Amino acid sequence: MGVLGAFGVSALLHEYIIIVNLGFWTGEQFFFFMIHGVIFILWEAVFDHKKIIEDTKIRRFLKWILLLVINLIFLPAFLGPSIRILNFSDISSYFAKYYVN
């Protein structure tokens, strides 16, 4: 419960930032953090019970690949709201203040 509580508070804080910037609730940040809380609990249940067996380099590499795939699947839920906040319609205005002739 503590893990889900910590991820839940983080989810609400991140969702609040999106609400302030966009003006409405998207739920994507909340989903991202809560699903990672569930994945963290499942990860510990599956991989932590075998601490007696020494982790080999292959086993650690495969766990790293699995974690990378999981994060890449859910990354759009984390980045999507922030990307929508940016306005790329006039990208030259971003560089004009730094590169004035």
* Burial tier of 75 (Cβ tally within 10 Å: 0-12, 13-18, 19+): exposed
CA atoms within 13 A on the CB side of 3: 12
pLDDT over 90 (residue 9): yes
Please tell me the predicted confidence (pLDDT) of residue 67.
86
Please tell me the predicted confidence (pLDDT) of residue 34.
92
In terms of residues, how long is the chain? 101
pLDDT digits (tens, 9 = 90+) for 75-84: 888 888 777 7
Q: Which two tokens stand for residue 2?
A: 């503590």
Please tell me the predicted confidence (pLDDT) of residue 6.
93
